Chain A
Amino acid sequence: MKESYSLVFNIKRFDPEKGKSWMQTYRIEAGRILRFTDVLRKINKELDPTLAWNSSCEHAQCGSCSVVINGRPMLACELLVENAVELFGTTVFTIEPIGVAPVLRDLVVDLEKAYDRVHRIRPFIIRPSQNPNQGQEYRISPRAMEGYLEATRCINCFCCATACMSSHRGFMGPNAVMASVVRIMDPREDATDERLQQLYSEEGVYRCHTSKACSHVCPKEIDVAHFVALAKEGEFS
């Protein structure tokens, strides 16, 4: 097992002042258990302090460091150098920003804009249903919860939306569809019809072609396509 690797990072850069984008190559030596965020930080320190990228928690919980690595949307904070070399069979990596929102600079995208599509489906309980146990907490049976628990792991990193076969122009995106499906499956939600109307609109599930790229790339290992397909099945209507 190698202790360190000589990596080549071809990074897509964008300068908003000049409106110019270009590919820049960085050659760097990196230890096998460094994460891609560590390598980017190393580039900042040793080669180029102007390279902009995004991260926050660096524990795969906030979804802010999503980038496209050799064509695959991934979280830079959980990709170890040695795993990347094994996965892609190379030490040369092309790194681009995710494509679901306008690029602000280099690898940083306007996440506010990306979140707009999630906000549009209102990822909260729109109309609370009557609590069968008045005066007590709302109890959800474990069986009902089991059906959608997996989907609640979503961190809105937009890797699925970036990988989706349908473009981002007309589709609300797999994570937004899933967020709405989760609320429909939640017995506390009463606004099923409203939600279905949105899901069965042109920007809803009809834009999904069950290519399952969303499930393939999801860093939280959620079978996103399964939840999108639940909406298509029509069981909720």
Chain B
Amino acid sequence: MAVRSPQTGIDTRISKLLNGIPPLARFTRSRGVPFVISWAHRLSGLLLVVFIGFHIFTLSALTTPAAYADKMKLYQLPVLAFIEWALAIPVLFHALNGGRLILYESFRCRRDDVLLDWAAGLTLLYAGLLALLMLLGNQNVSAVFFWLIAGSAAAAVAYALYARIGRTAHAWSWKLQRITGAFLLVMIPAHFLFMHLGPQMARDAGLVALRMQNPWIKLVDAALVLSAVYHGAYGLNSILNDYVGSKELRWVGSGAIIFVMTIAAVAGLRLIVSI
């Protein structure tokens, strides 16, 4: 009698945790732990798409420093600082779990039992580090140096994946989704980390504008915006294709996604170019 598949009856710390939460245990039992993790990946992805839009909107105030300073004052409120910190958890989870999926799908790494625990552990470690940095609020680093390291590392990870899947018969849209994912796996956590090294990093409009005048930073930011927008748009479209049966509705939905995400990309790029 086969009620437990050896392949997915994975015995990880994270599965013990999920099995202990009754509403989730129903799904871990009926569909398995990776199923619950996949839904968490999907939901955190949706949250991140909303966040990207919100983030670009906030940054658009950089063109008028007084308005930007006003907005940034809001972020000093403890509750908003907490939300900002808490957002790091879905961000990092999405990034690391995405890394796990890339390893599974493109590098035949089937050790989910190990990788899931690592993804969860590193997410918590990162959140702790971020909390510490936010509380200390006294770190500083040369922006060009930081982004030289982070940008190169992200490009190397993306290239490693490209080398693996670039020549396959897959659709380019899919390959690009994976490659941007690999790039963002380094870039997004690095972005969060950099912004919270010290309060001045993100909140001082003058300093942010000065940093963004550097061509390397401009390049890195443009790559970040384009990758995030493409990755998010592909993810949204994927959800649409999964659950909407009617072809016509799918066309309308895809059109709407492309329209909205293009606006976000143009707004982001305009900001980068105009500063």
Number of A-B contacts (CB under 8 A): 140
The interface of chain B, by Cβ under 8 A from chain A, is: 1-3, 5-9, 26-27, 29-32, 34-35, 37-39, 41-42, 101, 104-106, 108, 110, 112, 164-165, 167-171, 174, 238, 241-245
**Interface members, chain A 30-89 (any B CB < 8 Å):** 70-72, 74, 78-80, 83, 87-88
Given known contacts A88-B29, A207-B242, A229 and B104 CB-to-CB distance under 8 angstroms? yes
Q: State the CA gap A87–B35 with chains docked (Å).
A: 18
CB atoms of B6 and A202 under 8 A apart: no
Q: Are B169 and A216 in contact (CB under 8 A)?
A: no
Complex CA distance for A169 and B249, rounded to whole angstroms:
13
- A98 CB to nearest B CB, Å: 13
Chain B CB within 10 Å — which of A209, A219, A221, A226 has the most? A209
Cβ A87 vs Cβ B170 within 8 A: no
- Per-residue contact bits, chain A 161-195, to B (CB 8 Å; 1 contact, 0 not): 00101110111000000000000000000000100
**Can you identify 7 A-B contacts, CB atoms within 8 angstroms?**
A72-B30, A169-B245, A210-B34, A213-B35, A218-B2, A234-B164, A234-B168
Complex CA gap A167/B8 in Å reads 21
Q: Which residues of B sit under 8 angstroms from A79, Cβ to Cβ?
A: 1, 3
| Interface flag for A141 (CB, 8 Å) | no
Please tell me if A212 contacts chain B, counting CB pairs below 8 Å: yes
Contact: A170 with B104, CB < 8 Å? no
A170 and B242 contact, Cβ closer than 8 Å, known pairs A209-B42, A211-B38, A237-B170: yes
List 17 additional contacts besides A200-B174, A218-B5; criterion CB under 8 Å: A71-B27, A165-B38, A166-B242, A167-B242, A167-B243, A169-B243, A196-B169, A200-B171, A206-B171, A211-B38, A215-B5, A216-B31, A216-B34, A217-B31, A217-B32, A234-B106, A234-B164
Contact of B174 among A80, A206, A225, A229 (CB under 8 A): A206
Q: Hey, which chain B residues are within 8 Å of A233, CB to CB?
A: 105-106, 108, 168
